[in-house]
């Protein structure tokens, strides 16, 4: 398989490191082009790999013709979009022009209703890429939308839970948190894309219910305590806008009639207060303003001024958990489980040279590349049909089966319920898929 990676920030570089570690002999990965507008960045990433299958190229992600030309020159089978989601429309068009598969880890951005009213949705996450389904069907190619960790792994977990642990599902909630800290550090820091983090933390959060559809609430609404396994402990989580709610709402047919979908993230009081301040003085804005004769977006200033998440992230000590909480019934009894993946930051830095959040995000697309390249990516009716797809539309068994081989094993936390009390389940947690 020949792969074109567009965007060689932390996730793009991590994908290359993980792919090389998983397939050192080229059994399924024939070539991977790491492309970036900053050629030096791509070249630096390739130099670390010391493998002729990985090559660096310059590309302008905002120019579909430029990306398509590079894809055709490389003979790429798939374009992997590891840029900020503002580039999704252009890279989707590039894949259509080059007639390749497409994969991203975050969907096209949302737009609130005029005036910012809470309740009704404006343009939702992904609304600008789902209409391209007929065009990808015509090319016979897949557009894999939201295949990172969250969205991505968390959605595949939802499908896996539906297929294996429940007869009917009442609610699915993505729950994410960590005990990461930089010893001695003060103030907030960004552990992932600054632009994207501000976007999802200042937009209205989104919820889906079967009888109501999608609707919005204030960001950070409905704080609740949630216990995370493997030494992280109890955290406080709150609503944040995220793609999983869109994917889960679109995939009811694959999820045992699920009735509600939410995403809640543990950010900490100081971080949430900072986001509120950014929003109150409009420095979260992505719209350019005139500053002494120069047009500049306030959010871009924050992204340029704050420490690079890929570098400062390497200083973190601790673990982060990404996972999916599912509530429903099994054998007529109430059941709740949390399917999760916990990763240690310093272990990720040692293995891949990148911090934990980007490493977690990168492993799912590499697993998907392996499944696609070896013909094991299975859709609802067997081989996946061309078009725009979200993770829940694919069988998750093959994905879960490879997690341990990728050194990202998953876990299952059986929460207290009628089912647990009447079953022979002995422990709080167990390996996922065993």
pLDDT (tens digit per residue) in 62-91: 999 999 999 999 999 999 999 989 999 999
**pLDDT at residue 49, as a whole number:** 95
Query: How many angstroms separate the CA atoms of 311 and 41, rounded?
Result: 14
Angstrom distance (rounded) from CA 407 to CA 294: 47
Query: Is pLDDT of 214 > 60?
Result: yes
Q: How many helices (H) and strands (E) does the chain have?
A: 15, 19
Three-state DSSP state, 366: helix
Q: What is the pLDDT of residue 255?
A: 93
What single-letter DSSP state applies at residue 269? H
Q: How far apart are CA 392 and CA 316, in angstroms?
A: 32
**Nearest CA-CA partner of 247 in 237, 255, 239, 235:** 255
- The DSSP bridge partners found for residue 31 are 2
The continuous run of DSSP H or E covering 431 comes out as strand 429-431
Instruction: Tell me the percentage of the chain whose pLDDT exceeds 70.
Output: 97
Domains of the chain: 2-104 (3.40.50.720), 153-356+409-431 (3.30.360.10)
Grouping H, G, I as helix, E, B as strand and the rest as coil, residue 208 is strand
Residue written as tokens 């310059």? Answer: 58
Contact (CB, 8 A) for 418 and 334: yes
The mean per-residue pLDDT over the stretch 33-61 comes to 97
| pTM (predicted TM-score) | 0.93
| The pLDDT of residue 177 | 94
Segment among 162-166, 251-255, 334-338 with least mean pLDDT? 251-255
What's the confidence (pLDDT) of residue 139? Answer: 96
Nearest CA to 120 out of 200, 206, 199, 201 is that of 206
| Residue with more model confidence, 308 or 48 | 48
293: left (phi over 0), alpha (psi -120 to 50) or beta: left
Chain mean position to CA 340: 14
Distance between CA atoms of residues 283 and 412, nearest Å: 40
Structure tokens at 433: 């898929």
Those residues whose C-beta lies under 8 Å from the C-beta of residue 201, and which sit 6 or more positions away, are: 219, 220, 240, 241, 267, 271, 272, 275
Question: What tens digit of pLDDT does each residue of 362-378 get?
Answer: 999 999 999 999 999 98
Q: Using DSSP bridges, classify how beta strands 2-6 and 31-36 pair: parallel, antiparallel or unpaired.
A: parallel
> Which of residues 170 and 269 earns the better pLDDT score?
170
Q: Which residues of 57-96 are buried (b: 16+ CB within 10 A; e: fewer)?
A: bebbbeebebbbebbeebebbbbbbbbbbbbbbbbbbbbb
Mean pLDDT value of segment 331-337: 95
The rounded mean pLDDT for the chain is 93
List C-alpha distances in Å: 332 to 9, 25, 182, 303, 419.
48, 49, 46, 51, 9
3-state helix vs strand vs coil in the chain, percent to 5: 35, 25, 35
Widest Cα–Cα separation across the chain: 70
Q: What is the mean pLDDT of residues 322-335?
A: 96
Written as one string, the DSSP assignment of 110-165 is PBPPTT--SSS--BPTTTTTGGGHHHHHHHT-EEE-S-BTTTBHHHHHHHHHHHHT
Which pLDDT score is estimated for 417?
86
Per-residue confidence (pLDDT) for residue 380, from 0 to 100: 61
Does the pLDDT of residue 428 top 80, yes or no?
no
Burial class of residue 423, CB neighbours in 10 A (0-12, 13-18, 19+): middle
pLDDT at 153 over 90: yes
Give 148's pLDDT tier (boundaries 50, 70, 90): very high
Q: What pLDDT does residue 211 have?
A: 95
- The pLDDT score that the predictor gives to residue 44 is 96
Q: At what angle do helices 269-280 and 194-202 cross, to 10 degrees?
A: 80
At residue 273, the 3 state secondary structure works out as helix
At residue 269, does pLDDT exceed 90?
no
Cα separation of 240 and 147, whole Å? 18
- Token match 């090559």: residue? 55
Confidence of residue 249 (pLDDT cuts 50, 70, 90): very high
Return the DSSP state at 41. Answer: H
């Amino acid at each position: 398989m020949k792969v074109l990676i567009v965007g060689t920030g932390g996730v793009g570089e991590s994908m290359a490191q993980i792919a090389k570690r998983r397939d050192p002999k080229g059994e399924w990965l024939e070539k991977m082009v790491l492309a970036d507008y900053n050629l030096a960045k791509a070249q630096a990433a390739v130099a670390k790999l010391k493998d002729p299958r990985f090559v660096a190229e310059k590309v302008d992600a905002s120019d579909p013709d430029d990306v398509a030309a590079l894809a055709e020159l490389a003979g790429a089978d798939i374009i992997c979009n590891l840029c900020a989601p503002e580039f999704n429309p252009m890279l989707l068009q590039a894949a259509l022009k080059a007639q390749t598969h497409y994969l991203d880890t975050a969907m096209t951005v949302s737009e609130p209703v005029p005036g910012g009213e809470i309740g009704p949705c404006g343009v939702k996450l992904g609304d600008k890429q789902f209409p391209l389904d007929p065009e990808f069907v015509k090319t016979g190619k897949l557009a894999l939308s939201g295949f990172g960790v969250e969205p991505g792994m968390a959605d595949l977990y939802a499908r896996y839970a539906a297929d294996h642990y429940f007869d009917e599902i009442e609610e699915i909630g993505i729950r994410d948190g960590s005990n990461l800290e930089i010893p001695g550090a003060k103030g907030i820091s960004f552990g992932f894309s600054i632009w994207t983090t501000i976007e999802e933390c200042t937009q209205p959060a989104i919820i889906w219910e079967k009888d109501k559809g999608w609707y919005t609430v204030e960001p950070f609404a409905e704080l609740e305590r949630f216990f995370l396994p493997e030494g992280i402990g109890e955290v406080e989580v709150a609503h944040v806008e995220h793609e999983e709610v869109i994917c889960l709402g679109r995939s009811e047919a694959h999820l045992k009639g699920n009735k509600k979908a939410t995403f809640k993230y543990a950010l900490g009081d100081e971080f949430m207060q900072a986001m509120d301040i950014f929003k109150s003085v409009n420095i979260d804005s992505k719209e350019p303003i005139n500053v002494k004769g120069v047009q500049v977006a306030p959010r871009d200033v924050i992204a340029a001024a704050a420490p690079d998440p890929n570098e400062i992230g390497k200083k973190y000590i601790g673990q982060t958990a990404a996972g999916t909480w599912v509530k429903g019934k099994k054998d007529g009894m109430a059941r709740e489980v949390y399917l999760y993946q916990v990763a240690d930051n310093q272990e990720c830095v040692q293995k891949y040279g990148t911090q934990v959040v980007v490493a977690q995000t990168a492993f799912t697309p590499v697993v998907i590349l392996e499944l696609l390249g070896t013909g094991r990516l299975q859709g609802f009716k067997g081989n996946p049909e061309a078009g725009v797809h979200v993770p829940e539309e694919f069988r998750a068994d093959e994905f879960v089966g490879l997690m341990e081989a990728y050194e990202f094993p998953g876990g299952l936390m059986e929460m207290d319920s009628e089912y647990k009390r009447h079953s022979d389940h002995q422990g709080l947690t167990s390996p996922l898929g065993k």
